[in-house]
Amino acid sequence: MRKIVLSLLAVLFVLTASAQKYPGLADTPPMGWNSWNIYACDITEQLVREVADAMVDRGLKEAGYEYVVIDDCWHGERDSLGFITDDQENFPSGIKALADYVHSLGLKFGIYSDAGWTTCGGRPGSRGYEYQDALKYAEWGVDYLKYDWCATDNVNAKGAYDTMLRALAKAGRPILFSMCEWGDNKPWLWAKDIGHMWRTTGDIYDDFYGEDDHGTWSSWGILNILDMQDGLREYAGPGHWNDPDMMEVGNHGLSVNESRAHFAMWCMIASPLIAGTDIQNASEETIEILTNEEAIAINQDLLGIQGFKHSKTDSLEVWYKPLAEGDWAVCFLNRDSISKEINYDWKATVVKDDFAKRNANFANTTYEIRDVWKHKNLGKTKRALKTTVPGHDVLMLHLSNIEK
């Protein structure tokens, strides 16, 4: 009897002991590509291979994008033992062969599932099959799991995501865990030790500002999503990031100016940079935005602190992001459709960031000003900044502390 009791206690300990997410997978915001925004369910293994090739050929891999993620609708049925299979019509070689191909290019491979009975696209979800699915993902060579929130009934969100975390840990392969819970249960309050990143809002769509009402839920424009990040910066940092959703940069609903502003602000708020456009056929302007190494460096800064809105005058906002080694990123965001003049007196500006415990007093400290998009120096903060920001665009600056 004593042995039975001890055995039961051992099992109970295994079931209740806290699992840990894999460390080191998201020390800076993850970068990659996801199929949903541009292709939705119209995906095939050939398409994903071609996108992976394009990520290499068009410079995204070199710029730091590493994950190739297939979203919903890759699933087939479950086999007689309950293991998930792939859709053989669209993925005839199988998911493992696709993952192997992505890996052969020096990239990483991501996949999608759902905490509910079905995915948002009506394919088999992972509820009740979490451990089997995690084992299958590890067998296939998956490096990234996006885990959605459809068809979950009244299941507890923290419990559901913790269950999949435990399953991934048990499977034994380092897999980045991207939680797509839409912010319904305020994951920023509890997900730090469960996921590497968590969605803070509903879905994005390719409009600079607007709402796409689907009846029971809505998709949101770029600025709407940005506004919803207010108050969340204290919850993000190395290994655990707020995720305002995949980027719409280059998609047909946005102008070049709007795509640039979108990308700049996602860099300023230390968002994961997950591209969601047609990489193969994207314009050179789109590729230049996505691969701007100076903007990406601001996003990937090792300090890992999310930027914040410092001030606003009419439709012109000024955002600051503390960077390593005493530097700052500054972004002037023009929310209006018409150009705005700037006459910014640095010496009259004091930046106080209590969260980062960082201050900038430009009257006492001089910084070198670098225009991130034009790739040129604009002088020093000893003089006022006088320029123009086009409508629905940004002026993004890197301030280097020359007195450090």
Instruction: Say whether both 210 and 344 belong to one domain.
Output: no
Instruction: Say whether both 143 and 115 belong to one domain.
Output: yes
Please calculate the CA angle 215-220-225 and round it to the nearest 5 degrees: 140
Q: Is 148 a catalytic residue?
A: yes
Structurally, the chain folds into a number of domains equal to 2
Is 40 inside a domain boundary? yes
CA gyration radius for the chain?
22
Q: Residue 124 is part of a domain; what is its CATH number? A: 3.20.20.70
pLDDT at residue number 258: 98
Instruction: Say whether both 384 and 255 belong to one domain.
Output: no
Instruction: Say whether both 49 and 168 belong to one domain.
Output: yes
pLDDT at residue number 404: 61
Identify the residue whose tokens are 């039975």.
4
Is 183 inside a domain boundary? yes
pLDDT at residue number 403: 74
Residue 385 and residue 316: Cα distance in Å, rounded? Answer: 14
Instruction: Say whether both 349 and 222 belong to one domain.
Output: no
Instruction: Say whether both 352 and 258 belong to one domain.
Output: no
Residue 216 and residue 228: Cα distance in Å, rounded? Answer: 19
pLDDT digits (tens, 9 = 90+) for 249-296: 999 999 999 999 999 999 999 999 999 999 999 999 999 999 999 999
Nearest to 110 by CA among 79, 145, 85, 78: 145
**Catalytic residue from among 86, 114, 143, 148:** 148
Instruction: Say whether both 219 and 312 belong to one domain.
Output: no
Is 6 inside a domain boundary? no
Nearest to 338 by CA among 392, 376, 274, 286: 392
pLDDT at residue number 264: 98
Instruction: Say whether both 47 and 194 belong to one domain.
Output: yes
Is 4 inside a domain boundary? no
- Residue 268 CA: distances (Å) to CA of 304, 378, 400: 11, 20, 16
Is 60 inside a domain boundary? yes
Q: Is 203 a catalytic residue?
A: yes
Q: Given 267, 299, 331, which residue is the final one in a domain?
A: 299
Nearest to 181 by CA among 228, 219, 155, 148: 148
pLDDT at residue number 13: 35
Q: Given 280, 299, 318, which residue is the final one in a domain?
A: 299
pLDDT at residue number 6: 34
> What is the pTM assigned to this prediction?
0.94
Q: Residue 389 is part of a domain; what is its CATH number? A: 2.60.40.1180
Is 253 inside a domain boundary? yes
Instruction: Say whether both 95 and 126 belong to one domain.
Output: yes
What's the domain range around 216? 21-299
pLDDT digits (tens, 9 = 90+) for 139-158: 999 999 999 999 999 999 99
Instruction: Say whether both 351 and 237 belong to one domain.
Output: no
Instruction: Say whether both 102 and 187 belong to one domain.
Output: yes
Is 11 inside a domain boundary? no
**Catalytic residue from among 71, 87, 203, 353:** 203
- For the chain, which ranges sit under pLDDT 50? 1-17
Is 331 inside a domain boundary? yes
Q: Given 256, 273, 299, which residue is the final one in a domain?
A: 299
Instruction: Say whether both 153 and 211 belong to one domain.
Output: yes
